[in-house]
Amino acid sequence: MTSTAPPFTPTAWNGLRLTVPSAWRPTRLGLGYMLFEDGAGPAFELKWRQNAGRDGMEAAFRAMTPKGRARRAEALPESWLDRLAAFESMPIAWSTGAHTGLGAALFCPDCGLAAVFQAYGTAAGPSPDRVAEVAAVLASLDHHQPGPPAFAVFGLGYTPPPEFLLASFHFAPGRFNLHFAAGRRRLDILRLAPAEVLLARDHLARLAAQGFGFDADVAAATTPMGRCPAVWLAERQGTGFGQRLLRLCGRPSRLAVLRHDEAADKLLGAAIAAPKPIDPGWLAETAAHCVSL
């Protein structure tokens, strides 16, 4: 009887790509942080900083491990070491009685990334299954992707335009927001679900206004995106004197689009605020990169 390997899910977050067991769920996120849990509790934790240098490896070690309980571990499982050959590494371990952690602080000499990961286990340490899972995760770890960092989590896939960096994010059941910034421009990405339930309560234009923070009575234009029904909202996009004066006084131009992906039962969209009127074609292309996973 042959054994079947557990399914894995591709995940990407702010500069890192990895695949994790499908039973793991991201329960905490930071700008450079991910904590995954399974049905038994915490499973795997990862923290990183781009261009942090070797000093960043030590700082990550101190930030990630329980104060006063962390120590340098004697060794890591061979299956982990084989997958960390590209990094300088410092094994770490900690114990809080019922739980233990085993991992390493990492430094990539090619790009300066500093990181630390740890696998959670019982008082006896990570189980053989957990060791094998983490080995597979480490083998998938990729932080040298060209171009802007990709995001693939909570059923949303998105790659922002060049120059836009993640500034904040928000997750609540049925809603996921990513907020990016590039100078004075602000880009918001939105995923709402389940669409069928939401649209039974309100129409698409009202949901778009609520989701992107427009006034409830803002005018909406219905223009499909591909095969998906979509609505567009705009504020201060005009070229008249009054509109230009408002923008000069610090009230930016705003443009948003929200589409109904009927096959995925999700509402997906993007909104941008900028000092000058926004090209709808640019926003349509940007919003098209927001896809369901």
Q: For residues 194 and 186, is the Cβ–Cβ distance under 8 A?
A: no
- From first to last of the 293 residues of the chain, give the pLDDT tens digit: 444 556 999 999 999 999 999 999 999 999 999 999 998 889 999 999 888 766 666 666 666 555 556 667 778 999 999 999 999 888 988 877 677 889 998 999 888 888 989 999 887 788 999 999 999 999 999 998 888 889 999 999 999 999 999 999 999 999 999 999 999 999 999 999 999 999 999 999 999 999 999 998 898 999 999 899 999 999 877 677 777 776 777 678 999 999 999 999 999 999 999 988 889 999 999 999 999 98
- The alpha-helical segments, DSSP class H, found in 96-240 are 128-140, 195-201, 204-212
Question: 198-251: per-residue pLDDT in tens?
Answer: 999 999 999 999 999 999 889 899 999 989 999 999 987 767 777 777 677 767
- Cβ-proximal residues to 85 (8 Å cutoff; 6+ apart), any chain: none
User: What's the predicted TM-score (pTM) here?
Assistant: 0.87
**Residue 291: is it exposed, middle or buried by C-beta count within 10 angstroms (0-12/13-18/19+)?**
middle
Q: For residues 244 and 229, is the Cβ–Cβ distance under 8 A?
A: no
Q: What structural domains and CATH numbers belong to the chain? A: 8-140 (3.40.1000.10), 151-292 (2.60.120)
Residue 264 sits at φ, ψ, to 5 deg, of -95, -10
| Matching residue, tokens 């085993």 | 102
- Cβ-proximal residues to 77 (8 Å cutoff; 6+ apart), any chain: 131, 135
- Short-list 56, 55, 38, CA closest to 47: 56
First to last CA, the chain: 33
- Between CA 118 and CA 73 the distance in angstroms is 12
Q: For residues 18 and 26, is the Cβ–Cβ distance under 8 A?
A: no
